[in-house]
Amino acid sequence: MSDAVAAYFEEHRESSDLGRRALRGGIISIVIQYGNAVLQIVAAIVLARLLAPEDFGLVAIVTVLTSFAPLLIDFGLLDATAQRSRITPAQVSGLFWVSTGIGVAVAVVVAASSPLIAWIYGDPRLQPIALCVAITFVLSGLTNQHMALLRRTMQFGRIGRIQLFGTLAGTVVAIAAAIAGYGYWALVLRPVISSVCVVVAAWSACHWRPGAPVFDDDVKSMVRFGLHVVGFTVAYTLSRAVDRIALGLLYRPDQVGYYQNAMNLYENSIYSALNQMHAVGSSALSKLQSNPAALRQKYEAALSMLAFFVMPVAAILSVTAEDVTVLLLGQKWQAAGALLSIIALRGISHVVEGSQGWLHLSLGRADRWQNWGILSLAVQIVAVLAGLPFGPAGVAWGVVIGCSLIALPSILYAGQPIGIGTDLVVRAVGPQTIGAVAAAAAGWWLQSTLLSSYPALARLVLSGGFCGCLYLAVVVGVFRQVEPLRIAGTIMQDFIRKR
């Protein structure tokens, strides 16, 4: 075995520079992820002007219905490989063949269900869309363990570049297809091309190759761990998808399209950063699983820093959502901007709720994570049903309120085994939450009164600048929260010196 491959299978050990490595990896990941988001937004701008809202709605119906499938394929084994203290190449081979087999099985099930999907929604166009989407599930099973080994060695920059390459290729093909007049097929081709490119890039970046599998007790233990992880992720993904499933059943495809594009803008600006930090946070904290005191300390510092930078982005996005959407996607998408102004508020509490996985996985308690996923699904269903009679806006408010109510309890439950309580969470995110809420409230007032007659671009710049300054005045000026700025500055200086 070469040294490059052997590095993937080294035992987890606590190191003196773990915090710095994790922060550096997190910053690099987020920077690349936002580069990815810029590509996604460029694609959204171009495709929104070339395609109709109905095109987006048709594809959204299928992708939301099948959004659980990649989670079944992963089966939690990506997290199991990254979290495990010791692992062998033969064991990873066993997990690889499990993921690949599940990918093929899920693709067959989705393809066989395509006539049923078309019948339920009364639109025959959904059947061929579902058949093409099924291809991505086969491809997904071929990359999970390669990406897990890269995450295990904290090569987050390389992971980000792989994802960026896939997004770029899919975007280019989608735009070309839309210009050629293929309509919604441009949106169908996009994930297929991206998946093909990710497979090629992941196998090129990670030189490990699967061999004969081993299914010993350790592998069985990892599969059990993965079962709990996939239990959470399926429940959580369904909780995120239930809004569009319900809207698709009761409202026209164009209404689903508005909601879907609003959600796309939120996910590319807020959720993508949180998702990237999940990989960094869980991988780094897993190396501290034998030292609960250090784990609590590092978790608090990481959560505080993430909240410091993400919460104001959510507040600014909420205030400027309509102007951002119209400027990016065109006047016909103004309804999506109104929805985004509501959905973006979720980012303030999403920072807290999204970090629960760091604790569950680093402590090896995926079973508790699964339990919480089921609870969050129940809360989300109630929230969506409460808002559904009021249309897409009512559903958006239901989602935001439901997420906000369970944010703090999610961390108290996840951190219970190592004594994380309300005081730690308040210390970590209290000032940032107050600053973000104050910035959003003042920004809305400014938008509706003093700036209502201004051009969209000028209003966007003035509102965004006002919200950012108010946030810093509250968090830094009043609460004296300067540590995240100091740490970020130190990491950036270190990164520049190394460059």
Q: How far is CA 447 from CA 311, 316, 450, in A?
A: 19, 11, 6
What CA–CA distance (Å, rounded) separates 149 from 142? Answer: 13
Q: What is the pLDDT of residue 73?
A: 65
- What is this structure's pTM? 0.67
Q: What is the pLDDT of residue 28?
A: 62
Q: At what angle do helices 391-414 and 217-250 cross, to 10 degrees?
A: 160
Can you read off the two tokens belonging to residue 108? 């067959």
What CA–CA distance (Å, rounded) separates 198 from 342? Answer: 33
φ, ψ at 51 (rounded to 5°) = -115, 165
What CA–CA distance (Å, rounded) separates 474 from 486? Answer: 17
Helix (H, G, I), strand (E, B) or coil at 122: coil
Domain ranges of the chain: 3-283+292-498
φ, ψ at 57 (rounded to 5°) = -65, -40
Q: What is the pLDDT along the chain (499 residues), one digit of tens a residue?
A: 555 566 666 655 555 555 555 555 555 666 666 666 677 777 777 887 888 778 888 887 787 777 666 666 665 666 666 666 667 777 778 778 888 888 888 888 888 888 888 888 888 888 888 888 888 888 887 887 778 777 777 677 777 788 888 888 888 898 998 888 888 888 888 888 988 888 888 888 877 788 776 666 666 676 776 677 767 777 777 787 788 888 878 887 778 888 988 888 888 788 877 776 766 666 667 667 778 888 888 888 889 988 998 999 999 999 999 988 888 777 878 888 999 999 999 999 999 998 888 888 778 777 788 888 888 889 999 999 999 999 899 999 999 999 999 999 999 998 898 889 999 999 999 999 999 999 999 999 998 888 888 888 888 899 999 999 999 999 998 998 887 777 767 766 666 666 5
The DSSP call for residue 142 is T
Which among 281, 278, 283, 302 is positioned nearest to 425, based on CA atoms?
302
Q: Which residues fall within 8 angstroms of residue 453, CB to CB, at 6 or more apart? A: none
Q: What is the pLDDT of residue 24?
A: 59
Give the position of tokens 């990254």.
Answer: 82
**Do the beta carbons of residue 22 and residue 284 sit within 8 Å?**
yes
> How many other CB atoms are there within 10 angstroms of residue 288's CB atom?
21
